[in-house]
């Protein structure tokens, strides 16, 4: 699963935390803590929950706990004072309060499935090509990120999307086959909102971005 | 466009409908964009003159025009300058008004409508998202108005002159295809629209009690009835 929040991507499959294209290094326990908080962001996580989930029920000191939480905050550009993403609720626990989008790894899975299928019927030559990475590069799903000033319900947005996909299809690209389109249709002139949406799109590391002005 | 430019210098970006991408600092030059950004600009500034001319055609008595324009971008400033130089030759006195604050737009339109012989020119920067609001507002005061894109007329705007957005999207998709196949945005020149469309909405004209001259109707690319 890939979780996108703020300008970060937490990729549980690869166990990576990325900011844009940059890898953020985190200790394994801190990664586990982030993943646990994000997966359970709908509720307050108590001290006992954390000990169970991250330390396997072992008792650890208050300071160890605090150090890991601080490390998790600092890895995602947060701190104990602003508590922008990870909030402490005194005597209750902590909760991840950032807005999170879950991205399915459909660009990964079809590739893996196709790879498995092609291996099943592959000749020796095919396998050589595969091993050299050729099969992989031609199979890769490309990602386009669209930042659109008009809103998601604007009929103009829908009309443009249709034209866009039709044109790409004529050029050999099809959504769901070799193409994935991520969109942020803003629908306002709120600059902060636009910045956030732009950061989110960039964090997905698309192959190309499309800025649709009004 | 600006938020994306700030967010990445590495991922290729294709833009559409951007006026003056050089002035805005998105590209080094139209022919050689130079970095990770290229795309399709929406018009030459001279189109501002065409908007003033159109207003004079649909409202021959117009002596004043309220111009909705954005002063925070080079595109908005450039478009207004072009409208102004053309308006002088048509004897139209201009009242510029901002597009950032919706309450302010309402107040400005209401104040402007109190005196007669006026029309409105809506420039392109920052107006697309609030087009419905603008259209409803000027219609309430029965002000003859010129809009910057065909899709404004499709939404009830009296008449519009500008590039077709679908055409821009099609061409942008072409650039995106080339970039996905390995070409560099730095080497793909920024292109201007190849086709401008005049769209007249006769339904709105009727509702506002405005007669669109036959000479204009015959040159329209589309007439909405």
Q: Residue A201 corresponds to which tokens in the numbers above?
A: 């799109």
Domain borders along chain B are 2-41+164-194, 47-160+197-224
Total Cβ atoms within 10 A of residue B127 = 23
Name which of A97-101, A113-117, B71-75, B179-183 the model is least confident about: A113-117
CB nearest A167 (choices: B4, B18, B173):
B173
Phi, psi of A208 (to 5 degrees): -155, 150
Q: What percent of chain B has pLDDT over 70?
A: 100
pLDDT of residue A61: 83
pLDDT of residue B207: 94
Fold of B2-41+164-194: Rossmann fold (3.40.50)
pLDDT of residue A125: 41
Give the whole-angstrom CA distance, residue B201 versus residue B98. Answer: 25
Q: Token match 């309430």: residue?
A: B140
Within this chain, do residues A92 and A21 fall inside the same structural domain, yes or no?
yes
Give the whole-angstrom CA distance, residue B133 versus residue B127. Answer: 10
Phi, psi of B222 (to 5 degrees): -145, 135
Per-residue pLDDT of chain A (214 residues), as tens digits, is: 888 898 889 988 888 898 877 788 888 889 999 999 999 998 999 988 888 888 888 888 888 888 899 999 999 999 988 899 999 998 899 999 998 988 765 444 444 444 444 444 444 444 444 334 333 344 589 999 999 999 999 999 999 999 999 999 999 999 999 999 999 999 888 888 999 999 999 999 999 999 998 8
pLDDT of residue B140: 95
Interface of A with B (CB under 8 A): 7, 20-21, 142, 144-145, 147, 149-151, 156, 159-160, 163-164, 167-168, 171-173, 186-189, 191, 194-195, 197-199, 201-202, 205-214
Task: Point out which residues pair with B196 in neighbouring strands.
Answer: B163
Give the whole-angstrom CA distance, residue A112 versus residue A106. Answer: 10
Give the whole-angstrom CA distance, residue A36 versus residue B24. Answer: 43
Would the pTM of this model clear 0.95, i.e. be above it?
Answer: no
Task: List the single residue in B with minimal CA-CA distance to A200.
Answer: B7
pLDDT of residue B216: 94
Contact A147, A201 (CB under 8 A): yes
Within this chain, do residues A98 and A12 fall inside the same structural domain, yes or no?
yes
CA distances from A191 to A186, A187, A198, B2, B126 (A): 10, 11, 10, 10, 12
pLDDT of residue A132: 40
Q: Give how many domains chain A has, as a whole number.
A: 3
Give the whole-angstrom CA distance, residue B19 versus residue A190. Answer: 20
Helix (H) or strand (E) holding B83: helix B74-89
B39 close contact with A: CB closer than 8 A: yes
Contact A171, B174 (CB under 8 A): yes
Domain boundaries, position A191: 141-214
Give the whole-angstrom CA distance, residue B182 versus residue A104. Answer: 26
pLDDT of residue A139: 57
Domain B47-160+197-224, CATH class in plain words? alpha beta
Residues of A in contact with B179 (CB under 8 A): 207-208
pLDDT of residue A104: 67
Give the whole-angstrom CA distance, residue A179 versus residue A142. Answer: 5
Within this chain, do residues A8 and A93 fall inside the same structural domain, yes or no?
yes
pLDDT of residue A201: 94
pLDDT of residue B66: 96
Within this chain, do residues A30 and A49 fall inside the same structural domain, yes or no?
yes
CB nearest B180 (choices: A145, A151, A208):
A208
Within this chain, do residues A16 and A86 fall inside the same structural domain, yes or no?
yes
Q: Residue B118 corresponds to which tokens in the numbers above?
A: 């006026």
pLDDT of residue A196: 93
Q: What is the ipTM of this complex?
A: 0.91
Give the whole-angstrom CA distance, residue A118 versus residue B130. Answer: 51
Measured in angstroms, the CA of A211 and the nearest CA of chain B are apart by 5
Measured in angstroms, the CA of A64 and the nearest CA of chain B are apart by 35
Same fold, B2-41+164-194 and B47-160+197-224: yes
pLDDT of residue B79: 87
Q: Which residues have a Cβ under 8 Å from the Cβ of B197 and sit 6 or more positions away?
A: B150, B160, B161, B162, B163, B164, B221, B222
Any idea what DSSP says for residue B221?
Answer: S
Within this chain, do residues A17 and A92 fall inside the same structural domain, yes or no?
yes
Q: Do B7 and A205 touch (CB under 8 A)?
A: no
Residues of A in contact with B199 (CB under 8 A): none
Q: Do B13 and A202 touch (CB under 8 A)?
A: no
pLDDT of residue A134: 37
Q: Which of A93, A122, A139 is the C-terminal boundary of a domain? A: A139
CB nearest A147 (choices: B4, B18, B174):
B4
Task: List the single residue in A with minimal CA-CA distance to B148.
Answer: A214
């Amino acid at each position: 699963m890939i979780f996108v929040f703020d300008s970060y991507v937490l990729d549980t499959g690869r166990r990576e935390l990325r900011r844009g294209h940059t890898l953020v290094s985190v200790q394994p326990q801190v990664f586990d803590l982030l993943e646990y908080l994000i997966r359970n962001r709908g509720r307050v996580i108590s001290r006992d929950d954390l000990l169970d989930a991250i330390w396997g029920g072992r008792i650890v000191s208050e300071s160890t706990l605090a150090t890991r939480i601080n490390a998790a905050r600092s890895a995602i550009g947060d701190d104990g004072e602003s508590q922008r993403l990870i909030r402490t609720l005194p005597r209750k626990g902590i909760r991840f309060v950032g807005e999170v989008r879950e991205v399915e790894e459909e660009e990964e899975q079809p590739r893996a499935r196709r790879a498995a299928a092609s291996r099943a019927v592959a000749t020796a030559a095919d396998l050589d090509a595969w091993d050299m990475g050729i099969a992989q590069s031609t199979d890769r799903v490309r990602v386009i990120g669209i930042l659109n000033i008009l809103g998601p319900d604007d009929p103009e947005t829908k009309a443009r999307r249709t034209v866009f996909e039709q044109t790409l299809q004529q050029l050999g690209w099809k959504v769901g086959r070799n193409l994935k389109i991520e969109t942020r249709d803003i629908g306002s002139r709120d600059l902060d909102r636009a910045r956030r949406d732009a950061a989110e799109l960039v964090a997905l590391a698309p192959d190309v971005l499309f800025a649709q002005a009004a | 466009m600006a938020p994306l430019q700030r967010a990445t210098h590495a991922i290729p970006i294709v833009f559409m409908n951007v006026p003056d991408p050089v002035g805005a600092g998105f590209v080094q030059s139209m022919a050689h964009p130079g970095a990770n950004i290229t795309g399709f600009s929406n018009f030459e500034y001279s189109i501002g003159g065409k908007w003033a001319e159109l207003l004079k055609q649909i409202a021959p008595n117009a002596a004043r025009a309220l111009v909705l324009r954005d002063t925070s971008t080079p595109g908005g400033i450039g478009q207004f300058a072009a409208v102004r130089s053309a308006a002088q030759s048509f004897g139209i006195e201009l009242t510029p008004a901002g597009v950032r604050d919706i309450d302010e737009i309402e107040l400005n339109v209401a104040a402007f409508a109190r005196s007669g012989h006026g029309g409105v020119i809506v420039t392109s920067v920052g107006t697309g998202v609030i087009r419905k609001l603008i259209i409803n507002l000027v219609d309430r005061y029965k002000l003859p108005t010129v809009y910057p894109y065909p899709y404004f007329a499709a939404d009830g705007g009296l008449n519009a002159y500008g590039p077709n957005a679908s055409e821009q999207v099609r061409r942008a998709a072409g650039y995106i295809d080339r970039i996905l196949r390995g070409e560099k945005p730095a080497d793909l020149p920024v292109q201007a629209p190849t086709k401008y469309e005049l769209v007249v909405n006769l339904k709105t004209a009727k509702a506002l009690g405005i007669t669109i001259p036959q000479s204009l109707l015959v040159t329209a690319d589309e007439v909405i009835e």
